[in-house]
């Protein structure tokens, strides 16, 4: 953009790319998740225990093979991923096996809210990127203003999405810990940290765009004096 060359478009592209990968999280890209729940418990004197876990993404979830045994009686569920769709319900059998059957509404509603915000931020970042690239070819004041507007909107939505990511995982940690007496482990997935990176890049691009517009306007005023 004005006065900052390729720096601002690069930052917007970095933010867009991170948000795009986030928007393609589990079950599309199976290594990118919002939060993970894992269990690996054993009680030797009763020959009982449970092992397995589930990773939640924006479009569904993936389950590793879950095995549970009570007094030598085994019960298992093979690993699978839910189908990709807008909004989803978590398998009640899975939640019952993990001891989380009373948390279905919390997890489903929270993940649906996260699902909506990340793609919106990605779309706004894409529009900002288009206008930023347009400025590289032909500096136009309208394109500069539109790039700034979409960068700000994308940064705001990414910030809200990151806050919800962190809040959702924190709530899940507390709820799961209370429901299972700390027997299940809830951890952050890659989505919150990728969203944080996108948020930082987009806010940096916004600051750079503001500086570019200010410097460009001052140069025009100085040129008009001569």
Structure confidence by residue, pLDDT tens digits, 122-151: 999 999 999 888 877 776 677 778 888 999
Q: Which domain holds residue 148?
A: 7-225
Do the Cβ atoms of 39 and 198 come closer than 8 Å? no
Task: Compute the average pLDDT of residues 18-44.
Answer: 84
List pLDDT tens digits, range 160-210.
999 988 988 888 788 776 666 667 788 899 999 999 999 999 999 998 878
pLDDT over 70 percentage in the chain: 64
The answer, yes or no, to whether residue 47 has pLDDT greater than 60, is no
pLDDT at 153: 96
In a domain, 188, yes or no: yes
H or E element at residue 140: none
Q: Within 13 Å of residue 184, how many CA atoms lie on the same side as its CB?
A: 25
Cα separation of 71 and 218, whole Å? 78
What per-residue confidence (pLDDT) applies to 1?
41
Per-residue pLDDT band for 12 (boundaries 50, 70, 90) equals very high
Average pLDDT for 88-109:
61
Q: What is 197-212 written as a DSSP string?
A: HHHHHHHHHHHHHHHH
18 inside domain: yes
Q: Quote the crossing angle between the two packed helices 104-137 and 190-225, to the nearest 10°.
A: 30
**If you average pLDDT over residues 20-35, what whole number do you get?**
91
Domain assignment present for 1: no
**pLDDT above 50 for 33:** yes
Residue 113 included in any domain: yes
Specify the pTM.
0.80
Instruction: Answer whether residue 31 is part of any domain.
Output: yes
At residue 111 the predicted structure's pLDDT band, cuts being 50, 70 and 90, is low
pLDDT at residue number 2: 43
Which of 3-17, 105-119, 151-165 has the lowest average pLDDT?
105-119
- Report the mean per-residue pLDDT for the chain: 78
What is the domain-level CATH number for residue 113? 1.20.140.150
Examine residue 221 and state whether it is found in any structural domain, yes or no: yes
* DSSP conformation class of 43: E
- Is position 141 within any domain? yes
The number of distinct structural domains making up the chain is 1
- 2 part of a folded domain: no
Q: 106, 175 in Cβ contact below 8 A?
A: yes
């Amino acid at each position: 953009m004005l006065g900052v060359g390729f720096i601002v478009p690069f930052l917007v592209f970095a933010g867009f790319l991170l948000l795009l990968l986030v928007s393609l999280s589990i079950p599309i890209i199976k290594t990118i998740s919002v939060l993970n729940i894992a269990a690996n418990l054993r009680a030797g004197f009763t020959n009982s225990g449970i092992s397995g876990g589930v990773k939640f993404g924006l479009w569904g979830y993936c389950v590793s093979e879950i095995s549970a045994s009570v007094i030598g009686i085994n019960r298992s569920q093979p690993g699978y991923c839910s189908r990709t769709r807008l909004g989803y319900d978590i398998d009640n059998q899975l939640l019952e096996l993990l001891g989380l059957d009373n948390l279905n509404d919390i997890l489903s509603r929270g993940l649906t809210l996260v699902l909506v915000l990340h793609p919106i931020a990605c779309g706004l970042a894409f529009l900002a990127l288009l206008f930023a690239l347009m400025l590289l070819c032909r500096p136009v004041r309208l394109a500069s203003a539109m790039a700034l507007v979409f960068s700000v909107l994308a940064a705001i939505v990414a910030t809200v999405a990151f806050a919800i990511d962190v809040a959702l995982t924190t709530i899940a940690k507390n709820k799961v810990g209370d429901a299972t007496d700390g027997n299940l482990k809830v951890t952050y997935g890659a989505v919150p940290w990728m969203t944080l990176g996108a948020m930082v890049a987009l806010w940096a691009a916004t600051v750079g765009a503001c500086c570019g517009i200010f410097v460009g306007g001052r140069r025009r005023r100085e040129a008009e004096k001569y």
